[in-house]
Amino acid sequence: MIKGLGGLGGFGDLSKMMKAAQDMQGKVAEVQESLDRISVTGESGGGLVKATATARGELTALDIDPSIFRPDDKEVVEDLILAAIKDAQKRAQERSAAEMQRVAADLGLPPGMKLPF
């Protein structure tokens, strides 16, 4: 027997670390699944165009106020739609990052640590 290692050597601590890693992996997977159920809405044109997406960034709905449908404003409408989609995607990224940071904090990880690894 190697002196100072005791009965299981360092395997008791290793077992605890493996269990903690499995718990962490489970929580990260849980949050990633929940991102599909979280909706964010981006807007442009003062709310004339709204794009809704999941927190993963998947576009799920587009709402356009009928008052903007004039043939001479086609380019403006296209720009508003694009701006609303980009806003929704940005909000999705922010929400996703916030959810992952919440999980990291719950797991006692240092602030700023990116999940998943």
Q: What is the DSSP string of 43-89?
A: EEGGGTEEEEEETT--EEEEEE-GGG--GGGHHHHHHHHHHHHHHHH
Give domain status of residue 9, yes or no. Answer: no
Residue among 74, 95, 78, 71 nearest 44 (CA): 78
1 vs 115, more confident: 115
Position 26 in a domain: no
Residue 99 in contact with residue 55, Cβ under 8 Å?
A: yes
Show the domain range for 55.
36-106
Q: Residue 79 falls within a domain, yes or no?
A: yes
pLDDT in tens, 39-83: 989 999 999 999 998 888 888 888 989 888 888 888 888 888 899
| Total number of domains constituting the chain | 1
Report the CATH number that the domain containing residue 58 is assigned in CATH.
3.30.1310.10
Alpha-carbon 34 to chain mean position: 9
Residue 70 lies in a domain: yes
- In this structure, is residue 19 part of a structural domain? no
User: How many other C-beta atoms lie within 10 A of the C-beta of residue 71?
Assistant: 6
pTM value is: 0.58
Q: Is there a domain that residue 16 lies in? A: no
